Chain A
């Protein structure tokens, strides 16, 4: 990178950080790593847009999942907007069909990169399955 050996003022360094952050943001959105900082290359998902905007999902997806989980297990509320199954259905890899298993998988790739334990899939299915509406009508 051209700025590597230059010694700029504090102002220039600040600008560089801002530029780098902007670059990293663009790279993450495009799924490619163009900066010196390696970024996980993740497929973004099957649909047009996620259930919330990207910054919200990056920071708060675990909170959304936790609240949905308690509502579903204890109260029987089965809305799909913030359900883990909904995440998996959309974000499963095109080839692998899963959200775990490699550094390119949507959930595991980012969790590996961030060094955060991902234990949802010790119990939950990491790939889409049959629709929940199977079975005889009551």
Chain B
């Protein structure tokens, strides 16, 4: 579980101090102390006071930070089976077709789960933004990649449309563009011959905005989707993941998805 994972800044700080301690030299002990000091200063000034802001206000000229792990919490107890606001918002945001055929692009979908006792759950499923994504493992061109902040994307400039990633993904999260596309949104380029999937609305996240599905879910009154930085203990998503049981779809695969479910 993400809640059990220490903040990455802290673990990196400890790793750095270990490296300094191993170096040969007369001042080995002093270096060790300096490294510990640096590691401590890097984590906190006082409880709850971070030296740097992990998630907010990243200027456009700065790359995505590996200290951030974007994630989404889906609270299934809040999600209504007759609501598809997230799907509509996703289609609108990215210019995806609203009428779906067997081969249509679909980045988020609602799946009905039934158990043997008759219980039913309506589950929004999208790219789970795994920490160890199988789609990235199998991609022959490096087009499928994970960004430093944990968002799994397809670089359409290098995608050759082989669809290995679609087969490797255990969540069936990716679709292939079969037909020529017109009328794209400027911030969401799409075209025939590439595989695509949920981007966690990376174009909005990079401008300090929340994904379209999360916004639409809140507007519908259900508030089943929570987006945030899993590595920031102060964020709502991290506090909720720490305070009650959440799980991953196909947790047995140990892919450490960034999308987590409560009440699954």
- Chain A residues in contact with chain B, CB under 8 A? 69-71, 73-80, 85, 88, 122-125, 128-130, 132-138
Contacts A79-B61, A123-B189, A129-B186: A74 and B155 contacting too (C-beta < 8 A)?
A: yes
Contact of B209 among A75, A77, A135 (CB under 8 A): A135
**Does B181 contact A133, Cβ atoms closer than 8 Å?**
no
How far is the CB of A62 from the nearest CB of chain B, in Å?
13
Contact of A85 among B63, B187, B192, B208 (CB under 8 A): B187
**Does A136 contact B153, Cβ atoms closer than 8 Å?**
no
Interface Cβ pair total, 8 Å cutoff: 89
- Chain B residues in contact with chain A, CB under 8 A? 55-56, 58, 60-64, 145, 147-149, 153, 155-157, 180-181, 183-187, 189-192, 194, 201-210, 212, 215, 218, 227-228
Report how far A134 CA is from B204 CA in the complex, Å: 8
Report how far A66 CA is from B190 CA in the complex, Å: 17
Report how far A77 CA is from B60 CA in the complex, Å: 5
**Does B153 contact A75, Cβ atoms closer than 8 Å?**
no
Report how far A137 CA is from B145 CA in the complex, Å: 26
Chain A residue, CB-CB nearest to B177: A123
User: Please, which residues of chain A bring their CB within 8 A of the CB of B187?
Assistant: 85, 129, 132
**Does A135 contact B215, Cβ atoms closer than 8 Å?**
yes
**Does B210 contact A136, Cβ atoms closer than 8 Å?**
yes
How far is the CB of A118 from the nearest CB of chain B, in Å?
13
Known: A71-B63, A75-B63, A122-B180. 8 other contacts (CB 8 A): A75-B64, A76-B202, A123-B190, A129-B185, A135-B201, A135-B212, A137-B208, A137-B210
